[in-house]
A and B are shown apart, each in its own frame.
Chain A
């Protein structure tokens, strides 16, 4: 069990995972869903696990939440081993995700009431707890309705409420905002912020750099079952460069002229997307000054630029830099995680 064991377990960590491995076998094909992941999450912080579909995020969370037994490595949550002391972990952890769901046939109230009773709330205390949560999540009116009638945002809120019935000290949120509209997404973010301000530790998986950026103190980028980079969001972005400029031209015929101006001023080769009016270029590390010169330089060359944006690097760029290949499309099948659902 001591595949990687650098030092004794640490008490200041809410999650301390070392060398986690999980392989799945389907039709003699081995999928290395998680292939040696170390995570150290300090108590009271938000940790973002960032990666594309099928990277192994969900498998990591499922191992930490005691739903999957690691093939190798160890993990402790609040000092409890996820295999040997699984029940203690379950008492301290709340889980929300694609795979830990409420019952769609029951009403919101019934779902929460069932959980409250399973946790040991009885009679009026259970009802009070449930009503308080429904009220806080703006679901009081929807409480008596079957969950299958809920909108996406309401659905995500009842899932969150369900994981908070016992006020867990560690919360695992598996893609909590995937598929939500911006307002619902902001609501989920607000909830997470309040919980963390009150002392909870949150492990959040996401495909969106923005989400990790908004919420997480530290981020680990995961791909093909391994952590390929870890740091604060500023550190990760710095590893990619200062950002990128995107330019939109009034005349597509001027694109090659514009590209040579950009290359001369910034010193980096611009990329030419399929849109014939657009081009973009990375800003070099010391390129803040040259960006300022770019617009006048384009003007001198007689190139009309109706749109000029300077953006931070996107997850795609972080990913491209770290792995040397673009981020897979959103809707692509996820071999590792999809396999879990069906088994």
Chain B
């Protein structure tokens, strides 16, 4: 596999010249370092496209299954149901994809790449913030896929292109903020699979006990109360409003405040763990 590339000797002069550095470069800005890590995340998508498989396949399955299996029963017709369902499926897809942030961070730790980064003279949050930015690209791809499929199946949002784009943007902001929880799990748990397992255990109730699939008014009272405080419910209502052309200012503000709070609380915890981790 690699035999042909095995060299014979290391040439001393070439080595000297290659290593010698007359003028060390000046330290790049925090933004530039962060973008470099974002670039790395994109390269990983390019080299390991399998990681997009989940992102692309699960929304397709969920959308098809719920639309055709339950659409008629729940909303009278599949075309009526998809107007209701699609923004919710979009939220579910993106919220679940945020788990990969913790998964990839943990993989970096177990493979030793993480220590290489920590040994560099760089702005400390750059590797994590850069990875989160790269993940945003992944979320965008998943959004385009889900909405595209929805359009094919008869999703006709009254909010038009602007409403859909604004809905997706709000979702991306929330996803970025939510990712900080998974970076913490990524730093605390021992293996990438443990991160995946624990995260899914948290996300399953959050996505199903919400207004993604059905109107909560038919649920038992206790469950309704949970659904009402569930952040996913607020997010879904806000995204639905934007896409339907009837933006709900209160819910949008709720989501934005939640995003700020998530970042303000879990961002610093992540960085603390990152700095002090052995």
A-side residues, CB < 8 A to B, are 24, 62, 65-69, 87-88, 90-91, 93, 95, 97-107, 110, 114-115, 117-122, 125, 132-133, 135-139, 141-142, 146, 149-151, 153-154, 162, 164, 166-167, 187, 190-191, 194-195, 198, 340-343
Distance of A89 Cα from B118 Cα, bound (Å): 12
| CB atoms of B47 and A146 under 8 A apart | yes
With a cutoff of 8 Å between Cβ atoms, the chain A residues found around residue B108 in the complex are: 103
A105 and B44 contact, CB distance less than 8 A:
yes
Contact stretch, chosen from B27-35, B59-67, B78-86, B178-186: B27-35
Q: How long is the Cα–Cα vector from A339 to B12 in the complex, in angstroms?
A: 39
With an 8 A cutoff between CB atoms, is B220 at the interface? no
Q: Is the CB of B121 within 8 A of A106?
A: no
Q: Give B23's nearest chain A residue, CB to CB.
A: A125
Q: Does B190 contact A (CB under 8 A)?
A: yes
- Chain B residues near A65: list those with CB within 8 A: 119
Tell me the smallest distance from the CB of B25 to a CB of chain A, in Å.
4
- Say yes or no: A149 contacts B1, CB within 8 Å: yes
Comparing B3-11, B134-142, B233-241, the segment that makes contact with chain A is B3-11
Contact A191 B111 (CB under 8 A): no
Chain A residues with CB under 8 A of B26? 120
Interface residues of B (CB under 8 A from A): 1-12, 14-21, 24-28, 32-33, 36, 39-40, 43-44, 47-48, 108, 110-113, 115-116, 118-122, 126, 190, 276-278
**Contact between A137 and B10 (Cβ–Cβ < 8 Å)?**
yes
Instruction: Let me know if B14 and A198 touch, CB within 8 A.
Output: no
- B122 near A95 (CB under 8 angstroms)? no
Q: Which residues of A contact B122 (CB under 8 A)?
A: 90, 118
Contact A135-B25, Cβ < 8 Å, known A114-B36, A154-B2: no
Pairwise interchain contact A115-B18, C-beta atoms closer than 8 A: no
Alpha-carbon separation in the docked complex, A91 to B47 (Å) = 30
Q: Is the interface of A mostly helix, strand, loop or mixed?
A: mixed
Which residues of chain A have C-beta atoms less than 8 A from B39's C-beta? Answer: 114
Given A106-B43, A194-B12, also A69-B276 (CB < 8 A): yes
Measured in the bound complex, the distance between the Cα atoms of B123 and A87 in whole Å is 9
Judging by beta carbons under 8 Å apart, are A166 and B21 in contact? yes
Q: Across the A-B interface, give the 9 residue pairs with the lowest CB-CB distance, nearest first.
A: A138-B7, A101-B112, A120-B25, A136-B18, A167-B21, A132-B18, A90-B121, A91-B121, A136-B15
* Contact call A66/B44, Cβ cutoff below 8 A: no
- Contact between B40 and A162 (Cβ–Cβ < 8 Å)? no
CA distance A88 to B120 in the complex (A): 10
Q: With a CB–CB cut-off of 8 A, which chain A residues contact B21?
A: 166-167
Check B14 against A135 for contact (C-beta < 8 Å).
yes
Give B35 Cβ to nearest chain A Cβ, in Å: 9
| Chain B contacts for A120, CB-based, 8 A | 24-28
Contact of A136 among B2, B19, B24, B43 (CB under 8 A): B19
Partner of B118, one of A67, A118, A139: A67
CB within 8 Å for A167 and B19 given contacts A93-B119, A153-B6: yes
Contacts of A119 in B (CB 8 A): 24-25, 27-28, 120-121
